[in-house]
Amino acid sequence: MTGQVPSRLWQWFCQELSSVLPGWLKAALKGGAYVVPLYLSQSVTGLEKRRAKYIAPESILTKPIKIQPRPISVDLYLPEHYFLKRDIEAPAAAFKNAEQLVRLDMMRRTPFQPNDVYWTISAVTTKGPKTSTTQWLIKRSDAQQLREHLKTIGIMVRAIRIDNDQTATHIAKFQTQSDTSLQKWVNFGLVGTIAIAVLTMIMVPTFQNQHSLNSIETRITDLRAQAVQLRSNMETLRQAEQDRTALVDTVINKTIFAETLRELTIALPDDVWISDLSFQPERIVVNGTSSSSAAELVLRVANNRLFQNPRLTGPVSRTTSGEERFEMTLDLKGHR
């Protein structure tokens, strides 16, 4: 599992980088021709170039139009009705090899063999116990007929893709004729230009700012020494603050404890013996024994001016001498 994480991160980085780079630059880095998407629409009457894509009417696939003065390479995005769409459901374990599962299902449920069609699948989705995907098919003969027709009007189809389904890969990819030698030298020149520009951006500022870097390093050294001194001063101040706080707490807590102990002595009857006492500024916890009832003891302590909400916080048990052993918690007024 750990070994797959770098691979997934690298794939994510490549996808994000690919979405930022312009199409012509991606084509140059891949060493291929610049390919523009071609979409079909009923709102146009002829081939139109809009930003980084072409728009054409669906009639371009069957009727002749004006021949392009210069061939263009495109990825053809066809609407859904040009494909056979099959929804496939199976348990999630069966999708470990999704392509093999879909291929076998196609051979068993349709009259097509893998050599008869081009096909691809959408992203696998899971809803409850079922996992599903969509298979898209187009007959090889139909795809070839579309390519041959578009070729006659100067449009070279490099790949056929499905419009409105970005999760599916290309359903068919073809080799187009191009001047590979010229394209190679164009790509080489572009990559070389980019490399020279990057080196220039890196090297020139380095030489120009050497003196500034030395000054910054000297300043950093001075600031580091000042930081050490400031840290020492802060530690001294922090220790002094802690000592002052400890002194104040000691004085205040001793006064509160003395008053609390006096009031507790007054509130408890003479037949009560305290074995343990835990003191906090907001409450005290008393452990002891009583010859009388522990419940009556709680009611008696509740009448004291200093204590509130007295309660038994532990089980009441009897000693061998018949006394009741108890644990009682009392909140101090003014700290609740």
Angle, helices 23-30/180-208, rounded to nearest 10 degrees: 100
Residue with tokens 């389904």: 165
Q: Among 320, 260, 319, which Cα is nearest to 289's?
A: 319
Predicted local distance difference test score (pLDDT) of residue 126: 85
CATH architecture of 261-332: 2-Layer Sandwich (3.30)
Q: CA 232, CA 243: separation in Å to the nearest integer?
A: 17
- pLDDT confidence tier of residue 145, bands split at 50, 70 and 90: very high
Beta bridge partners, 136, equal 85, 120
Please give the Cα distance from 26 to 18 (Å, whole number): 7
* pLDDT band at residue 181 under the 50/70/90 scheme: low
pLDDT of residue 3 exceeding 50:
no
pLDDT for 17-66, tens place per residue?
655 666 556 655 555 566 788 999 888 888 888 877 888 888 888 887 76
* pLDDT in the model for residue 21: 62
Average pLDDT, the chain: 81
Token pair for 329: 């918690």
Looking at residue 195, what is its pLDDT?
Answer: 82
Within 13 Å, how many C-alpha atoms sit on residue 184's CB side?
Answer: 3
Q: pLDDT > 90: what percent of the chain?
A: 15
User: Tens digits of per-residue pLDDT, 191-208?
Assistant: 778 888 888 777 777 777
Report the range of poorest mean pLDDT among 81-90, 165-174, 177-186, 228-237: 177-186
Q: Give yes or no for residue 262 having a pLDDT over 60.
A: yes
pLDDT of residue 242: 81
190 pLDDT above the threshold of 90? no
Task: Return the higher-pLDDT residue of 61 and 212.
Answer: 61
Tell me: pLDDT of 1 over 50. Answer: no
Query: Scanning the structure block, which residue is given the tokens 């696998």?
Result: 124
Each residue of 290-320: b (16+ CB within 10 Å) or e? beeebeebeeebeebebbbebeeeeeeeeee
Q: How far apart are CA 23 and CA 7, in angstroms?
A: 24
Cα–Cα distances in angstroms (integers) from residue 23 to residues 27, 33, 124, 146, in the given order? 6, 10, 28, 25
195 compared with 86, residue with greater pLDDT: 86
SS3 258: helix
192-218: burial string, b at 16+ Cβ within 10 Å, e else: eeeeeeeeeeeeeeeeeeeeeeeeeee
- From CA 93, how far away is CA 95, in angstroms rounded? 5
pLDDT for the residue numbered 27: 58
The band of 289, judged by pLDDT with boundaries at 50, 70 and 90, is very high
**77: confidence class by pLDDT, cuts 50, 70, 90:** very high
Q: Check if the beta carbon of residue 317 is closer than 8 Å to that of residue 325.
A: yes
Pick from 118, 91, 123, 96: which is nearest to 106 by CA? Answer: 118
183 pLDDT tier (thresholds 50, 70, 90): low
Beta strands in the chain (DSSP E): 36-40, 48-50, 53-56, 72-78, 84-90, 117-121, 125-127, 130-139, 155-162, 172-173, 272-280, 283-290, 307-312, 317-318, 324-332
| Predicted local confidence at residue 23, as pLDDT | 59
Q: Answer yes or no: are the C-beta atoms of 171 and 136 closer than 8 Å.
A: yes
Rounded Cα–Cα distance for residues 169 and 160 (Å): 9
Using the structure block, give the residue that is written with the tokens 């490549």: 14
| Res. 4 pLDDT band, cuts 50 70 90 | very low
Q: Minimum mean pLDDT among 21-35, 109-123, 285-299: which range?
A: 21-35
What are 131-140's pLDDT values in tens digits? Answer: 899 999 999 9
